[in-house]
Structure formats: structure tokens, C-alpha cells
């Protein structure tokens, strides 16, 4: 077996995967059974509610696909079962490590508190042996400032107890990153590491704000390629961009894989990792994303290995875990 194929089959790490965007048809059926409401739809009908069509027009239409799976993630039992199932799916695909993210405030429709949601996901994640960290997402929007502050406090409370970091997700174009400076100042003061969705629906100014807040990683960040000065800043800072290519195609950011600025980012010395974003919504997984990039840009074995090593070094975990992952990659 060629080196590139061995790497793809045994060394994948996903740092940017949303739990609610990654429910398989089988998981949805199981969660419905837990609620005592078994589904009568066919697998094809369920899949059409979970995944975008080829004609997906923008990020707003993409985000609409989260409404259906979230309806099955509103009890502690459902959240716990989902976390375990998503992790097991990743383990069965051969991943070395993953960081699964979710927004606790999105799971309160049936009376759960944010803390109960976090506890349920931690409990479910612990049932799978795949090494994993959980990232709590704040949400962009209006009128949820206190909910976001609570998410930050919970990230601090459960840091090192299943939770590894904080994030903010949602409609970046409508709610600019710059508006959340105080939120991330609070996270920094509490010692909570964070990544920030930026440079996807909004341009380079969003990435600059995330760097100014102290983000060590940027979710997506691909529009940084529009600004050479920002590329130099990213390279100097050592911040890692969490690229999610197929997701960017689905949200209309790029027309095809050839338009993803991977080569420009690498040539500028920017640290990049490749991720899935949402396995169900975009009908993909990190190994497939890496394969797309390897084939599209004719990546050498060394370049592919470098992307995997970037991911290993960028995890929100201790140095021992990073070293273990790097050794596993090195030994392939």
C-alpha cells in the first residue's frame, strides 16, 4: 500500500466536526426510538432532511439543515446516545483523534439546562474509546448574550473533564466577529482556550478580529487568502486554519475544489488542517476531505503528512497527547 493511502486510512484527525450536523440515518432512527416516536420515513427521505442538495445556495440555506437533527437532541438520553454514536462512527473510520463541537444552548427546547446538556454529552462521549475533546459553541445572534456567557462559564467548569475549548458559530455575515470581543476576553481571563468561526461568510476583517481576541485556531478562515498582509500575520502567529472544503462548496463560497486556496495558504506558510465540518449535512468525513485535497492539488506524501501533523499539533490537549499522535503519524 502506498504511503499516502496508509496515511489516509490510519492517521486522520478531525478538529472541526459539529455533532448536530453529523447524525447518520441510523442515529436519527435510534434517537427517535428513545423518544418513543419511531420514524416511518424511508432512509432516503430522512437523508434528504439531513443533507444539502447540490443546489445549496448559501450559508443560510446550509444552516437550515440543522433544524431537523436538533429536534432529536433535546433530552439528556438523546444527547448522550448521539455523542457516543458519532464518536463510534469516527472510531470505525479509523480516526486517531477528534474534537466534537456543539452548542449547549441549542438543546433546551424540552427543558434541559445548558449544564445538563453538557453533562449528557460528556457522559455519552465517555462511552466510546476514541480519544476526543468537546468544544462548546457560543452562538451568534441577538438577545442571547447571557446564554453565551453561561456557555463560557461551563467551558471553564468542565475544562479538562471532557471539554477542551470554546467556539462561536452561526451567521457570521449577519453578526460580525468584532461584536464578540468582550465574550472572548472573558474566556481568556478564565483560561479557556478557543477557536472562532471566522473568514467564511465574512472576509479577512473577521479573521483579524479573531486573532486580536487571541484565537489559536480559526474555523474555516479561507477568506484570509484575499489579503496577503493577513496571510503574513497568520504565518507569524502560528494560528491554525481549520479548513472544511466540501462545506465551503455547499455554502457557495467556492464553485469547485480547485478554487479552495489550499496551495496559496501553504505557500504563504500558514498552518492548515483539513476537516469535515458536518458529516451528514455535507455527506462527507475527514478522510474524504483529505483525499479531495490530495487529488485536487497533487499533494506529495510529505505535504499530506504535514497537514496531519498540523492537526496533531493543533489539538486542544496536553503535550503528551500531541506527542503520541505525532508518533503515530510518524510511524506510518
Alpha-carbon gap, residue 221 to 7, rounded angstroms: 25
Alpha-carbon gap, residue 263 to 49, rounded angstroms: 34
Look up residue 218 and give its three cell numbers.
480559526
Q: How far apart are the first and last CA of the chain?
A: 11
Bridge partners of residue 99, in order along the sequence:
133
Own/partner contacts of 214-219, CB < 8 Å, gap of 24 or more, are: 214/184, 214/188, 215/184, 215/239, 216/240, 216/314, 217/15, 217/241, 217/242, 217/314, 218/242, 219/16, 219/167, 219/169, 219/195, 219/244
Look up residue 311 and give its three cell numbers.
492537526
Burial of 233 (0-12, 13-18, 19+ CB in 10 A): middle
200 as an active site residue: the answer is: yes
**R_g of the chain, CA atoms, integer Å:** 19
Catalytic-labelled residue, pool 172, 200, 242, 309:
200
Burial of 13 (0-12, 13-18, 19+ CB in 10 A): buried
Alpha-carbon gap, residue 265 to 201, rounded angstroms: 18
Active site residue ranges: 200
Amino acid at each position: 500500500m502506498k504511503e499516502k493511502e496508509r496515511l489516509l486510512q490510519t492517521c486522520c484527525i478531525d478538529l472541526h466536526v459539529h455533532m448536530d450536523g453529523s447524525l447518520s440515518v441510523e442515529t436519527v432512527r435510534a434517537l427517535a426510538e428513545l423518544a418513543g416516536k419511531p420514524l416511518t420515513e424511508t432512509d432516503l427521505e430522512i437523508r434528504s432532511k439531513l443533507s444539502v442538495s447540490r443546489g445549496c445556495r448559501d450559508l443560510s440555506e446550509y444552516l437550515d439543515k440543522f433544524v431537523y437533527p436538533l429536534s432529536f437532541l433535546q433530552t439528556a438520553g438523546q444527547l448522550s446516545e448521539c455523542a457516543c454514536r458519532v464518536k463510534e462512527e469516527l472510531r470505525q473510520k479509523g480516526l486517531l483523534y477528534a474534537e466534537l463541537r456543539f452548542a449547549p444552548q441549542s438543546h433546551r427546547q424540552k427543558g434541559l439546562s445548558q449544564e445538563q446538556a453538557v453533562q449528557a454529552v460528556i457522559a455519552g462521549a465517555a462511552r466510546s474509546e476514541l480519544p476526543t475533546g468537546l468544544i462548546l459553541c457560543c452562538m451568534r445572534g441577538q438577545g442571547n448574550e447571557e446564554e453565551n456567557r453561561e456557555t463560557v462559564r461551563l467551558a471553564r467548569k468542565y475544562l479538562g473533564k471532557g471539554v477542551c475549548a470554546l467556539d462561536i458559530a452561526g451567521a457570521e455575515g449577519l453578526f460580525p466577529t468584532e461584536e464578540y470581543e468582550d465574550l472572548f476576553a472573558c474566556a481568556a481571563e478564565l483560561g479557556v482556550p478557543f477557536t472562532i468561526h471566522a473568514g467564511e461568510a465574512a472576509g479577512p476583517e473577521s479573521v483579524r478580529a479573531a486573532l486580536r481576541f487571541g484565537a489559536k485556531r480559526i474555523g474555516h478562515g479561507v477568506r484570509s487568502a484575499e489579503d496577503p498582509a493577513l496571510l503574513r500575520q497568520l504565518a507569524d502567529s502560528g494560528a491554525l486554519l481549520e479548513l472544511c472544503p466540501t462545506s465551503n462548496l455547499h455554502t457557495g463560497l467556492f464553485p469547485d475544489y480547485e478554487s479552495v486556496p489550499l496551495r496559496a495558504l501553504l505557500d504563504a506558510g500558514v498552518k492548515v488542517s483539513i476537516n469535515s465540518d458536518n458529516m451528514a449535512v455535507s455527506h462527507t468525513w475527514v478522510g474524504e476531505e483529505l483525499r479531495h485535497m490530495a487529488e485536487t492539488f497533487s499533494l506529495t506524501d510529505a505535504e499530506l503528512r504535514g497537514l496531519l501533523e498540523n492537526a496533531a499539533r493543533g489539538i486542544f490537549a496536553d503535550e503528551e497527547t500531541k506527542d503520541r499522535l505525532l508518533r503515530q503519524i510518524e510511524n506510518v
